[in-house]
Amino acid sequence: MTVLETTFAAARDHKRIAEIAAVLGRFGVDDIAIRLGLGGLLPKRRTRASHTDSESRSQPERLRLAIESLGPTFIKLGQILSTRADLLSPEWITELEKLQSDVAPEPWEAIRAQVEEDLGASPDTVFLSFAHTALAAGSIAQVHRATLQDGTDVVVKVRRAGLRPLVEADLRLLSHAAGLVEAQWPEFARYRPREILHHLGTAMGEELDLAAEGRNCEAVAQNLAAMERIKIPRIFSEWSSERLLVQEYIDGIVPNDHAALNAAGLDGRELARTGTTAFLRMALVDGLFHADPHPGNLRALPGNRVAFIDFGMVGRLGARRREQLLMLVAAIVETSGERVAALLMEWSGAADIDLPRLEAACDIFVARHGVPPLRLGEAITDFMALAREHDLALPADLALLFKALITADGVMRSLDPNFDALAVAGPIVQEEMIRRYRPGALMGKGKSLALDFAGLATEAPSLLRLLALRLRQGRIAAEVELKGLDRIGADIRWAATRIAVAIVTAAFALGLAPRLLDFGPTLLGIPVTALLGIAVILGGVAWLLVPRRR
């Protein structure tokens, strides 16, 4: 037994490993199993009746078929990988995008007991009507139509029975595999397999918890409450739980049914503008967005209203990430390839990169996409390809957002072929930039920055002494030519003094900023925001004024 098999056996998952190895062998992706140390579990070639058929297919197609056979956890992993155009070439992305989670629904008798347990009674008594035949089914859950006692039409989403133990076993196996890949094949480290698996675990946890899906739906509804043309399904939490979700049924037209849209007299341009405005507000303003806005999860309603349904897959962006995205849009509009390159390097964390080559590529990128109309899907596709060509892996949250934006842009462009995403994004970006950098917000940032500076001023001398010690001990790997090592201690003490004085001076000046606001937006005719800049300059002057000791 290999080391990997031993590890997995100890994790109580040996049976599942054998199933995975058998599927990989059946679809002719043996090399993956062999590289993971599972070659001994592969079926013999002469017993694989379908192997010849598999060999006639491309490797990406064989892997996609194997993933579909392995169930919901692997399907979700494949869907996540389909968002990583910064890592995978187009032929792999195209095939992974075909992953289907639609499966035959479980018969009513197989789930009746679970539904009754979750409702606390028979659905035939809880609801005025309940359809025992599923309306739709996926690998995680299936959906039934129903009517509440007050006549409200709803859909009841039911998680498949016995699913959690299988998903948890698969996540354990994949986590071990990710660690093995990073340890044994450094060339795959840039793919960040453990980060991808962490993202997978989070996504699966939310998909398995239907109550969490309901909370996400309610949060988005609250965030977009001011948008009268946006409809989010109402959640009936009194009947919902981890394995069962009851939500409002929304009867509308799918946006790619152009004949029905025309018959209903709906305006594709207005629908596209409304849908895009809502999505960009979710992502750039609220930080909680629908991560799978394909046509089946959108509905066009009378009055050119747009409904978002099925919040089983959502994405989250922190304040810092949203700020970076605003900077990216601004860099594209201003055709600043240098700023795009800087963001790419920050996101990837790459240390060894050909910066002139990257900046030249970014200049070409902004020259192509910085002129209206902005075709958002094309721009993001090119951006991801640019990252891939320079071996720059993007954070998982960004990859999910970019994939969702490409999907949404495709839907909106089908509604309006001349759709200009920048015409919608521009006002949102401008509004957010004003909100984030108005004097009040800057004062809040100044307070936080002052505290950070004060703490750093206290810690700087000890940190620099520790740096000098580790340099002497050779405990830091750095490509630095050290000349005059005997003087480094004195030089570092001098540098520490300069840093401390500069930081304390800047922190002191920034600490005065809230008091300055008492005098109004200007003081002696100078804008308070300009005074903040003066504070930083004072810090730099203080740095230069500290004499160097020899």
Residue 518 annotated in active site = no
Degrees (nearest 5) of the Cα angle 476, 478, 484? 90
Q: What is the DSSP string of 366-414?
A: HHHHSSSSP-HHHHHHHHHHHHHHTT-PPPHHHHHHHHHHHHHHHHHHH
Which residue spans within 110-201 are E strands per DSSP? 129-130, 136-137, 141-147, 153-159
Half-sphere exposure of 106 (CA within 13 A, CB side): 20
Q: Which of 13, 30, 170, 292 is catalytic?
A: 292
Predicted local distance difference test score (pLDDT) of residue 149 = 95
Helix (H, G, I), strand (E, B) or coil at 157: strand
Instruction: Write the CA distances from 30 to 34, 66, 139, 151, integer angstroms.
Output: 6, 11, 25, 55
Predicted local distance difference test score (pLDDT) of residue 139 = 87
Predicted local distance difference test score (pLDDT) of residue 468 = 54
User: 305-308 and 230-231: which strand pairing?
Assistant: parallel
- Which pairs from 227-231 meet CB under 8 Å and 24+ separation? 227/274, 227/277, 227/278, 227/281, 228/305, 229/274, 229/303, 229/304, 229/305, 229/306, 230/274, 230/278, 230/305, 230/306, 230/307, 230/308, 231/299, 231/301, 231/305, 231/306, 231/307, 231/308
Predicted local distance difference test score (pLDDT) of residue 233 = 97
| Rounded Cα–Cα distance for residues 279 and 290 (Å) | 8
**Cβ neighbour number for residue 497 with a 10 Å cutoff:** 18
**Which mean pLDDT values do the consecutive 10-residue runs of the chain (550 residues) have?**
48 77 83 60 50 70 91 89 88 88 86 95 94 92 96 96 89 85 74 84 90 96 96 96 96 95 96 96 95 93 96 92 89 89 87 86 94 88 93 87 92 92 85 71 52 50 51 47 43 48 48 46 51 53 48
What does residue 90 show for φ and ψ, rounded to 5 degrees?
-55, -35
Distance between terminal CA atoms of the chain?
Answer: 65
Predicted local distance difference test score (pLDDT) of residue 549 = 46
Helices 3-10, 163-184: axis angle to 10 degrees equals: 150
Q: What is the pTM of this model?
A: 0.73
Q: Residue 308: enclosing H or E segment and its boundaries?
A: strand 305-308
Predicted local distance difference test score (pLDDT) of residue 397 = 87
Output DSSP code: residue 169.
Answer: H
